Structures are given as C-alpha cells and as structure tokens.
C-alpha cells in the first residue's frame, strides 16, 4: 500500500545541470517538465536561484538563475500542472534576488547548507516563507559531521518554522544502516517536521538508501531521470516511481523522455557509476577529485587514482 504523505521531487535539471553548467536547451527542459506532469510527480526542481554576481550569465545557463521569463517560456501560459522548486545555496544568493511568491512561478525554495551554516539557512528559509514560498532546508554532507555538531544543528532546526528538513548523502558514502540510524534521529529530534532524503549513487546505493528512508518514515523523496546528477548521479526517478505503489504515478512518460532526451545527452556528458566515484564514496570524500580524473585525458588510470586517494585519506 502507498503512503499518501509521500511527495516525489525530480531534480533532473537542477542536479543534472551540475554536469553542464545548466546549459540545457529549452526543448530538453520542456520535455522533462511535460513528462513529470504526465507521470504525476509532485515537484520539479527546475534549477537554482542565484546572484548574477556569483555566477556570470555568459558562463552559465538559465537554470542557474530561474528567472521568471525563463520559467514562463517553459511552462507556457496554461495551467501549471506541477509544483516548481528551486535551490538556493548559502552565500550565493541575496535576499533581494528572491521575488515575492506572487511574482514567481516557483512554489518552493530549498535552502542548501552545511552544518556550520544552519543559522544563516534558517534565516534565509524564513525569508522565503515570509515571501509566500514553501521552504525546506537541505543539510548537506552529514556523513562528515560529528555527533555533537549534528545534534546541535537539529536542535536549531527544531526551533525554526521550516517544515521540511532533508537528510542528504552528498558524498554517496552511506549504507542502509546509516540511513536507518539517521532517519530515526531526524524524526526523533524534529517531531513536528517532515523529513526528506537526497542520495547520491557513488556506491550504487542511492535507490536502496531511498527505500531505507521510506521504510523509516521519510516522506519527501528526491530522484532524477536515469539518475542524472553530479558525478555518480542520484536515485533514478523511474526506479523510484516503479517501487512506489501510489496509483497516481505513471512510469511510461518518464521512459519516453529518457529515450528522447536523456539517452542522447548521455552520449555527450558522463554520469553514473565508475571506480573513481566509487572511491570517493567509500572514502567519504567530496567527489571533486573523482570528477577531475573523469574529465582528464587519463580517465582509465584508476589504479593510480585509487592509490592517491587512499594515501591522501590515510595521511589526513
């Protein structure tokens, strides 16, 4: 049986844009939008809200900014059939960059932060809520956070007005038992909040860990078409909807979009499982070094990379 409380958020354009600086053509974004509407997905995270002072327009695509004219170009003038969200990174956006909800096609703003930025993230999320948006806080890289710091962050979040808090496996380092433990901790310490989960696939566990979250009471679920995303990618949306038993979801529109848009893109940029991404996940390291070797002229020299990473971690 399905849980009606569960909401699914597609991050194809937002997370996938990390691979090409959000330089997707309009027909790609529009086809993703239409397929998600037909599939019954609850939210489409269409990109980031960012300051142009942090990201020059000439270097980044529209979905690093999510300006209203760009959003309207995708969704058209008809009735919007899916909620839209955008992510805001602490330090990369100013309050004045966020229009009032009445002037935007966005419904939700998700504030991404690290543990030491929680107070700033709460203030930004409250600002978004005061402007009329739904809001979440996505607490990143918790696999690197000590118990005391995590408990203090959760205590601060428990006192906030932000209704949805995300457990994020930024480095793809967690196993299902880690999700069991952390989901229970989040739910215990945030009893009045909804918990979400966002998993990366460095160890081929993003789908399994998302299922572990569902079993433990997590109700906001992130995924992407064909798992597209930074480095090793994310939980595949088509797998997740196939697992969920809610009859409102339809998988076929996603398969059509994968065939038309995602597979051709896969021939131009790479994401998904590889040994370098596996190494960063196993060692609980940021994937930037793995991404660098995959984008170099020596992507298959994986033994050298393995030795370098292991030696680096052992000497920390």
Closest CA to 129 of 153, 152, 106: 106
**CA angle, residues 104, 14, 106, in degrees to nearest 5:** 15
pLDDT tens across 104-122, in order?
999 999 999 999 999 999 9
Tell me the domain boundaries of the chain: 7-266, 275-314
Instruction: Give the integer Cα–Cα distance in Å for 276 and 273.
Output: 9
**What does the pLDDT read at residue 316?**
66
Burial 226-255 (b: 16+ CB within 10 A, else e): bbbbbbbbbbbbbbbbeebeeeebeeebbb
Indicate if the pLDDT at residue 17 is higher than 70: yes
Average pLDDT over residues 9-19: 97
| 3-class DSSP string for 41-80 | CCEEEEEECCCCCCCCCCCCCHHHCCCHHHHHHHHCCCCC
**What does the pLDDT read at residue 2?**
84
Average pLDDT over residues 126-152: 97
Task: Kindly report the CATH class assigned to 7-266.
Answer: alpha beta
Q: 39: how many CB neighbours lie within 10 A of its CB?
A: 24
Indicate if the pLDDT at residue 238 is higher than 80: yes
**CA angle, residues 211, 289, 282, in degrees to nearest 5:** 40
Contact 47, 88 (CB under 8 A): no
Give the pLDDT band (50/70/90) at residue 78.
confident
Average pLDDT over residues 250-273: 97
Average pLDDT over residues 90-114: 97
Indicate if the pLDDT at residue 164 is higher than 80: yes
pLDDT tens across 262-315, in order?
999 999 999 999 999 999 999 999 999 999 999 999 889 999 999 999 998 887
pLDDT tens across 26-67, in order?
999 999 999 999 999 999 999 999 999 999 999 999 999 999
The secondary structure of residue 40, as a DSSP letter, is T
**What does the pLDDT read at residue 1?**
65
The dihedral region occupied by 284, where left means phi > 0, alpha psi between -120 and 50, and beta the remainder, is: left
**What does the pLDDT read at residue 128?**
98
Average pLDDT over the chain, rounded to an integer: 96
Closest CA to 197 of 188, 189, 180: 180
Average pLDDT over residues 140-156: 97
Contact 273, 262 (CB under 8 A): no
Q: Which two tokens stand for residue 195?
A: 């918990």
Q: CB-based contacts of 315: which residues, under 8 Å, 6+ apart?
A: none
**What does the pLDDT read at residue 96?**
95
């Amino acid at each position: 049986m399905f849980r009606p409380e569960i909401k699914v958020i597609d991050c194809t354009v937002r997370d996938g844009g990390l691979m090409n600086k959000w330089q997707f053509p309009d027909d790609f974004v529009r086809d993703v939008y239409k397929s998600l509407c037909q599939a019954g997905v609850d939210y489409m995270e269409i990109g980031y809200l960012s300051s142009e002072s942090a990201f020059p327009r000439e270097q980044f695509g529209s979905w690093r900014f999510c300006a209203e004219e760009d959003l309207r170009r995708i969704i058209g003038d008809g009735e919007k059939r899916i909620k839209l969200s955008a992510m805001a990174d602490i330090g990369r956006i100013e309050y004045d960059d966020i229009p009032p909800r009445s002037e935007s096609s966005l419904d939700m703003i998700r504030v991404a932060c690290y543990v030491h930025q929680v107070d700033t993230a709460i203030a930004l999320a409250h600002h978004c809520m005061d402007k009329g948006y739904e809001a979440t806080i996505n607490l990143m890289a918790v696999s690197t956070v000590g118990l005391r710091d995590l408990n203090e962050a959760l205590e601060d979040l428990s006192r906030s007005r932000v209704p949805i808090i995300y457990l994020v496996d930024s480095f793809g380092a967690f196993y299902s038992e880690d999700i069991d433990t952390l989901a229970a901790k989040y739910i215990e310490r945030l009893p009045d909040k909804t918990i979400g989960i966002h998993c990366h696939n460095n160890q081929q566990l993003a789908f399994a860990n998302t299922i572990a979250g569902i079993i433990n009471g997590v109700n906001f679920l992130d995924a992407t078409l064909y798992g597209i995303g930074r480095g090793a990618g994310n939980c595949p949306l088509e797998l997740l909807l196939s697992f969920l038993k809610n009859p409102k979801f339809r998988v076929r529109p996603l398969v059509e979009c994968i065939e038309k848009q995602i597979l051709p893109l896969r021939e131009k940029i790479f994401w998904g499982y590889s040994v370098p991404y596996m190494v960063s996940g196993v060692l609980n390291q940021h994937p930037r070094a793995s991404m660098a070797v995959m984008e170099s002229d020596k992507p298959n020299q994986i033994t050298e990379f393995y030795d370098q990473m292991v030696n680096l971690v052992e000497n920390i």
